[in-house]
């Protein structure tokens, strides 16, 4: 005969009542106070005990029966099921591509870049700032202030928090010579979402998009997901080869050109002035949009930064993307787009569908950090720290790897682009370095064709001078012998 179980206790404030009853019984089963085969009260009995309508208990038991927690039969007691659903879940085999009940089309996104960063003691493959440098107390204080305003916990503008858009517009106008107002700005969750929104607003399946042949793979993935066919354009010491681009534009229809003119990613070359003018002229002539990714404009050392293409654009060609992730921390996902207003309206509608709105409390906190110049002071401080770390990386490379790598010392940015001695296989070097706890990126990771390149990209901003020397020392120890 089934053992009678304990009294069911339901939180009187938990709603809806039928779901609360079901959860209370599941809790008793998981605690072991109700065991498989034990009797649970009948619906009339439990409704009297709890002071609820019988139909409420019937609804709770219907859910429990459907989920496999109880068993019942006409004329018999209701009992705890044998086996329990948790036991069934433990023995269920994982679904594979072969057993999946529907078809998932293959992704056009790259598989070369891992979804999560490979653990390593030294992250030289990172073009990101050191999160230890974030003024966390000031950011937390700003968060606390904005969270007192409960209106910032509700719905927001999908174009972004208006005071933050105004602050970004002011900074971009004053510091980058890009005239704009708050209504010209869309705040996004990092520059990656900005690039994705531009791609979805501008590109249609089958459209050709010109990209730098050595470039930023996540941007390529966003363009491919929008249906773009990527057309590689060579880069050299003066940036994108606009002569090669013009030849492409003359023989085929191109919808968009994606370019990183300030510090070409990954080579760090600055697009020459003559090429800037040639790019704008060619795109105007062929009615091609330009997506300008100015991902690290704040970090320039000893010279004024080159003005963005957008500052020279008199014809509404350039969509300008920037980010605060390189300034603050990558986890504080905040980027932005400055674009012609008709395009910005389209992107905002897409954003509303895909993401509803941004992180309103975060945007409000960052607006406060702009307002009291916390961000301005932090940028000036990080510019000095990054310069120190660039020089430390240069010194470490000269000490440990002279003759194995060569490089130009960049006047800005967050990385070094290394030319590897022809006798050394850079991809094998990367694999050997990983085994010694050093992550560094091979040139092939930035090549649209994926072919090996005699290069390494060394990000220096994440580590202090002592760490950089140790990391480069390990890198030297991992160097393959010719």
Domain layout of the chain by residue ranges: 17-91, 122-128+377-477, 134-373
List of residues 6+ apart from 176 with CB closer than 8 A: 294, 297, 305, 307, 308, 310, 311
% of the chain with per-residue pLDDT over 90? 62
Judge contact between 454 and 419, C-beta under 8 A: yes
If you ran DSSP here, which 8-state letter would residue 324 be given? S
Please compute the mean of the pLDDT values over residues 441-465 and round it to a whole number: 95
* CATH of span 122-128+377-477: 3.90.1150.10
Between residues 335 and 110, the one the model is more confident about? 335
Residue 3: the pLDDT is: 56
Residue 11: the pLDDT is: 81
Say yes or no to pLDDT of 98 above 80. no
For domain 17-91, the question of CATH label 1.10.10.10 is answered with: yes
Output b/e per residue, 362-376; b: 16+ Cβ within 10 A. bbbbbbbbbeeebbe
Tokens of 234: 């060579």
For domain 134-373, the question of CATH label 2.90.10.10 is answered with: no
Cα separation, 266 vs 461, whole angstroms: 15
Residue whose entry in the numeric block shows the structure tokens 């008793």: 28
Tokens of 191: 């520059």
Cα separation, 474 vs 108, whole angstroms: 36
Judge contact between 207 and 229, C-beta under 8 A: yes
Residue 73: the pLDDT is: 77
Cα separation, 27 vs 29, whole angstroms: 5
Judge contact between 340 and 198, C-beta under 8 A: no
Tokens of 146: 């904005």
> Pick from 63, 90, 65: which is nearest to 79 by CA?
65
Residue 89: the pLDDT is: 46
> What is the band of 157 on the pLDDT scale with cuts at 50, 70, 90?
very high
> Pick from 479, 474, 473, 471: which is nearest to 429 by CA?
479
% of the chain with per-residue pLDDT over 70? 93
Please compute the mean of the pLDDT values over residues 78-104 and round it to a whole number: 68
Please compute the mean of the pLDDT values over residues 69-80 and round it to a whole number: 84
Say yes or no to pLDDT of 119 above 90. no
Residue 88: the pLDDT is: 44
Q: Tens digits of per-residue pLDDT, 408-452? A: 999 889 999 999 999 999 999 999 999 999 999 999 999 999 999
Residue 37: the pLDDT is: 86
Residue 110: the pLDDT is: 59
Using left for φ > 0, alpha for ψ between -120 and 50, and beta otherwise, residue 179 falls in beta
Confidence (pTM): 0.80
Say yes or no to pLDDT of 282 above 90. yes
- Computed over every residue of the chain, the mean pLDDT equals 90
Please compute the mean of the pLDDT values over residues 4-9 and round it to a whole number: 72
Residue 33: the pLDDT is: 86
Residue whose entry in the numeric block shows the structure tokens 């073009």: 127
């Amino acid at each position: 005969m089934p053992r009678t179980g304990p009294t069911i206790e339901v939180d009187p404030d938990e709603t809806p009542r039928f779901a609360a009853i079901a959860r209370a019984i599941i809790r008793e089963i998981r605690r072991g106070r109700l065991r498989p085969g034990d009797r649970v009260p009948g619906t009339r009995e439990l409704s009297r005990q709890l002071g609820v309508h019988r139909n409420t208990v019937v609804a709770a038991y219907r859910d429990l029966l459907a989920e496999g927690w109880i068993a019942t039969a006409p004329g018999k007691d209701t009992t705890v099921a044998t086996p329990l659903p948790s036991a069934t879940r433990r023995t269920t085999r994982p679904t594979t591509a072969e057993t999946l009940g529907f078809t998932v089309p293959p992704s056009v996104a790259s598989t070369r870049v891992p979804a999560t960063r490979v653990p390593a003691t030294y992250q030289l493959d990172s073009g990101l700032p050191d999160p230890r440098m974030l003024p966390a107390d000031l950011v937390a204080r700003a968060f606390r202030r904005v969270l007192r305003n409960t209106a910032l916990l509700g719905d927001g503008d999908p174009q972004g928090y208006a005071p933050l858009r105004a602050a970004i517009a002011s900074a971009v106008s004053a510091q980058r010579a890009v005239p704009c107002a708050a209504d010209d700005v869309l705040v996004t969750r990092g520059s990656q979402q900005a690039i994705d929104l531009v791609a979805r607003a501008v590109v249609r399946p089958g459209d050709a998009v010109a990209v730098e042949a050595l470039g930023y793979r996540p941007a390529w993935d966003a363009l491919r997901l929008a249906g773009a066919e990527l057309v590689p354009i060579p880069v050299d010491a003066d940036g994108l080869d606009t002569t090669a681009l013009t030849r492409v534009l003359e023989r085929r229809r191109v919808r968009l050109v994606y370019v990183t003119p300030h510090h070409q990613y990954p080579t760090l070359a600055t697009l020459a002035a003559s090429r800037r003018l040639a790019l704008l002229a060619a795109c105007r002539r062929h009615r091609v949009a330009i997506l300008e990714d100015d991902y690290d404009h704040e970090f320039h050392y000893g010279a004024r930064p080159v003005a963005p293409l957008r500052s020279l654009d008199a014809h509404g060609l350039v969509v300008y993307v920037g980010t605060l992730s390189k300034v603050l921390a990558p986890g504080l996902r905040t980027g932005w787009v400055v674009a012609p207003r008709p395009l910005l309206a389209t992107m905002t509608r897409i954003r509303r569908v895909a993401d509803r709105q941004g992180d309103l409390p975060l945007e409000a906190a960052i607006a406060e950090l702009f307002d009291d110049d916390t961000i301005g002071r932090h940028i000036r401080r990080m510019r000095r720290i990054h310069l120190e770390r660039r020089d430390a990386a240069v010194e470490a490379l000269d000490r440990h790897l002279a003759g194995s790598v060569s490089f130009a010392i960049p006047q800005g940015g967050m990385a070094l682009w290394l030319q590897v001695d022809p006798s050394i296989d850079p991809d094998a070097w990367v694999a050997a370095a990983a085994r010694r706890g050093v992550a560094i990126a091979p040139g092939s990771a930035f090549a649209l064709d994926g072919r090996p390149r005699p290069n390494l990209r060394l990000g220096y901003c994440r580590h202090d001078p002592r760490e950089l020397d140790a990391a480069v020392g390990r890198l030297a120890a991992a160097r393959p012998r010719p």
